[in-house]
Structure 1
Amino acid sequence: MITPLKQPIVFELEGFHVPPGYSSFLFFLALLNYMLTLLGNGVVACIIVIDKNLHRPMFVLICHLVACDLIGATAVLPRLMVHFLTGQKKIAYLTAIAQGFCVHMYGVAVQTILGAMAYDRYIAVCQPLRYPVIMTSARLHSCCALAWIIAVLCISLLFSFHMNVPLCGNTIQHVYCSNRGILNLACGPTPLSNIYGLSMTWCVSTSIFLIIAFSYFRILHASVKQGRGDSVIRSKAFQTCASHLVVYVLYEIAAMIIIVTFRFPSVSQNIKKFSSILFIIIPPAINPIIYGLVSKELRASIVKHFSIQVCHKK
């Protein structure tokens, strides 16, 4: 009979199986990714805060998405860098819970915020004359708050299931802590947590997908209808939604890679572990580039402020 471990528990992350001589290279790769994420998202957030012309719902929601990306990247990358640099794999129980909570909240909050962005774009394109009346400051902040509240409540309930679950091991077979990774160490089955986790994931993902699909169907219909005699209207409508749609598709592709790689036993453990962090390290690093390339207003504001700074230095 396996004896349950006593609190406080110190977990050990299995991490990557790094070949000799590659640790430094992987550390600098993770560091570069994290610095690009901080720099890109920091610039986007600062420009939106500084430029009063960007104090509009679409850019406010982008700020919330930036915050979400930073939470996800910061929860994983610093500890991953420590793992590559020092080989340290131990993590305290409360730190593991905090990391897992942030990672899961990132996954849910990304979807709820993207759902709010889809609703905003739907109103902006399909009901442009009523947009200022519908998307008021109070309603915008309510949508943002609701997106975060849903994420926090869902994940808080998810982690509450294993607060009193006895654990009979301390090695998490992953590169970061997660609810599933911790529950795999439980001394017995945890059906309630499994059912809730699957149900929550399905409900949130399906609901957001339906919201986005409905919004873009209506946007497409309205764009074609309004733009039959004016290609400028149609082009502007598609452009204003492009960044949101590209970001959503990017997250979904990253999620699909995780699902596919874990379905094939022949795929190496390192590849499976790497694919599992794609969702956390790739979108946050690329999103600022997507915003800058697609949004002319944001790109112009970034160029303007950096030009001013260069002129001041001269």
Structure 2
Amino acid sequence: MTNSSQVLHFTLTAYFDIGSLKYLYFMMVMCFYVLIIGSNVLLIVVICVNRSLHEPMFLFLCSLFVNELFGSLGLFPFLLVQILSDVHSVSAPLCFLQIFCVYSYAAVEVLNLAVMSYDRYVAICFPLQYHSTMTDRKVALLIALTWALPVLATVVLVSLSAPLRLCGNVIDKVFCGNFSIVKLSCSNTSVNNVYGLVLTVVSIVAPLVLILYTYGKILEILQSRFELSRVPPLLAIVLSLYFLTCQPLFNPALYGLKMAAIRDACKRLLCGENSAPAAASHA
């Protein structure tokens, strides 16, 4: 048995030889990565430089866009190197660093969506109490917890996996995953498995439950306002599924295009237009 500290590298076997096509794939992935960086940086700058966008929802969006940059940084450069490389391996320290980046990114993403859904729940269901509820201090605390909790939880996850004694160094993936490392272990991994299960429930399941609950409450208000009870049952089911599942997933990608405040701010920043800033409430 060897200790994981003695494993200098891991071999990734999910890659296969594609010949000269690797240059085409490299360019495609590179263009996609540049698009991710450009769009997220643009939206972050727009929100930061426009005081009219310093509202809770836009600040949560800014946090989400920063996390997109963080997550893509932990994956795309690595993929670009592996696409061009003939030997698909990764050093042990870089492998654990990638696990930290990918897992903390995923946890921050889901928790950020949960916080955003809570913000919309308060704004729609309790509009008169919104500003007294979503104070600057509370918004700052929510953003801090959105990042601190996943980062600390992922540090513990990696700390439990790094000292494991390993029987091999072959990972059947295109990037490093914590469970792939645990499966290579020759020692008892009960603690790792239990912690992994608890982490999944706390960081993924619990935020999703909050998202479903808040959007469910919003849906109830929509039913009372638009009398959705008269809508055919099948259509009502489709609408409910959309508000409960698609909205939390699609909104972050669409906010930059659909929100008038961000749209106008982008025009002023890129084109030098002098139009008055749109209020966040007009989004």
Normalised TM-score (structure 2): 0.83
Give, in whole Å, the separation in 2 of the partners of 1:203 and 1:287.
22
Contact 2:5 2:162 in 1 (8 A): no
Q: Structure 2 matches for 1:42-121, cutoff 5 A?
A: 42-121=41-120
Task: Decide whether the 8 Å contact of 2:12 with 2:174 is kept in 1.
Answer: yes
Identity across matched positions, percent: 28
CA RMSD of aligned residues (A): 2.5
Q: Which residue of 2 aligns with 1:236?
A: none
Counterpart in 1 of 2:268? 304
Aligned-pair distance for 1:21? 2.2
Q: For each residue in 1:129-156, what CA deviation from the matched residue of structure 2 results, as whole angstroms up to 9, or x when unmatched?
A: 2111110110001011111122112212
The aligned runs of 1:266-285 (5 Å cut-off) are none
1:226 Cα deviation from its structure 2 partner: 5.3
Q: Which residue of structure 1 aligns with residue 153 of structure 2?
A: 154
Tell me how far 1:67 sits from its aligned partner.
Answer: 1.2
Q: Distance in 2 between matches of 1:207 and 1:183?
A: 24
Q: Which residue of 1 aligns with 2:17?
A: 18
Cα distance in 2 for residues equivalent to 1:121 and 1:287: 13
CA contact (8 A) 2:4 2:164 kept: no
| Unmatched tracts of structure 2, length 5 or more | 228-241, 274-283
- Quote how far apart the aligned CAs of 1:54 are: 0.5
Give the Cα–Cα distance (whole angstroms) in 1 for the partners of residues 185 and 266 of structure 2.
50
In the alignment, the residues of structure 1 paired with residue 143 and residue 5 of structure 2 have an alpha-carbon distance, to the nearest angstrom, of 40
**What is the CA-CA distance between 1:107 and the residue it aligns to?**
1.0
Is the Cα–Cα contact under 8 Å of residues 15 and 88 in structure 2 kept in the other structure?
A: no
Q: Secondary structure at the match of 2:10?
A: strand
Instruction: State whether residues 111 and 146 of structure 2, in contact with CA within 8 Å, keep that contact through their aligned partners in structure 1.
Output: yes
Q: Counterpart of 2:261 in 1: which secondary structure?
A: helix
Q: CA deviation at 1:198?
A: 2.2
State the alpha-carbon separation in 2 of the partners of residues 244 and 33 from structure 1.
Answer: 29
What amino acid is the match of 2:137?
Answer: A
- The CA deviation at 1:31 is 0.3
- Deviation at residue 292 of structure 1 after TM alignment: 2.4
Q: For residues 173 and 29 of structure 1, do their structure 2 counterparts lie closer, same or farther at Cα, with a shift above 3 Å needed?
A: same
Q: CA-to-partner distance for each residue in 1:191-242, whole Å, 9 max, x for gaps?
A: 22122212321333221122111111222223444567xxxxxxxxxxxxx9
Within 5 Å, which residues of 2 pair with 1:116-155?
116-155=115-154
Cα distance change of structure 1 residues 245 and 121 upon mapping to structure 2, 3 Å threshold: farther
| Distance in 1 of aligned mates of 2:79 and 2:206 | 32
Deviation at 1:14, TM superposition (A): 2.4
Q: Secondary structure at the match of 1:161?
A: helix
Partner of 1:232: none
Deviation at 1:30, TM superposition (A): 1.0
Compute the displacement of 1:174 (Å): 1.1
Question: What is the CA–CA distance in structure 1 between the aligned matches of 2:68 and 2:41, rounded to whole Å?
Answer: 11
CA distance change for structure 1 residues 69 and 171 in 2, over 3 Å: closer, same or farther?
Answer: same
Deviates more, 1:177-186 or 1:129-138: 177-186
Of 44-53 and 89-98, deviating more is 89-98
| 3-state DSSP of counterpart to 1:91 | strand
Partners of 2:212 and 2:244 within 8 A in 1: no
Instruction: Give 1:249's aligned residue.
Output: 249
The question of whether the paired residues in 2 share the 8 Å contact of 1:12 and 1:171 is answered with yes
Q: Distance in 1 between matches of 2:154 and 2:87?
A: 27
Give 3-state SS (helix, strand or coil) of 1:133's partner: helix
Of 52-61 and 179-188, deviating more is 179-188
Corresponding residue for residue 295 of structure 1: 259
Q: Does the 8 Å contact 1:243/1:295 carry over to 2?
A: no
* Paired residues, number: 260
Q: What is the CA distance between 1:247 and its match in structure 2?
A: 6.1
Write the distance in 1 (CA, Å) between the matches of 2:133 and 2:18.
57
Tell me if the contact between 1:125 and 1:223 (Cα under 8 Å) persists in the aligned partners: no
- Does residue 38 (structure 1) correspond to residue 2 (structure 2)? The answer is no
Q: Give the unaligned 5+ runs of structure 1.
A: 229-241, 251-285, 310-314
2:237 aligns with none
The two structures have a TM-score, normalised by structure 1, of 0.76
Say which is worse superposed, 187-196 or 18-27, in terms of deviation. Answer: 187-196
Q: CA deviation at 1:57?
A: 0.6
Does structure 2 conserve the Cα–Cα contact (< 8 Å) formed by 1:5 and 1:169?
Answer: no
Match of 1:298, SS?
A: helix
State the Cα distance separating 1:46 from its structure 2 match: 0.6
CA contact (8 A) 2:4 2:162 kept: no
Give the partner amino acid of 1:135.
M
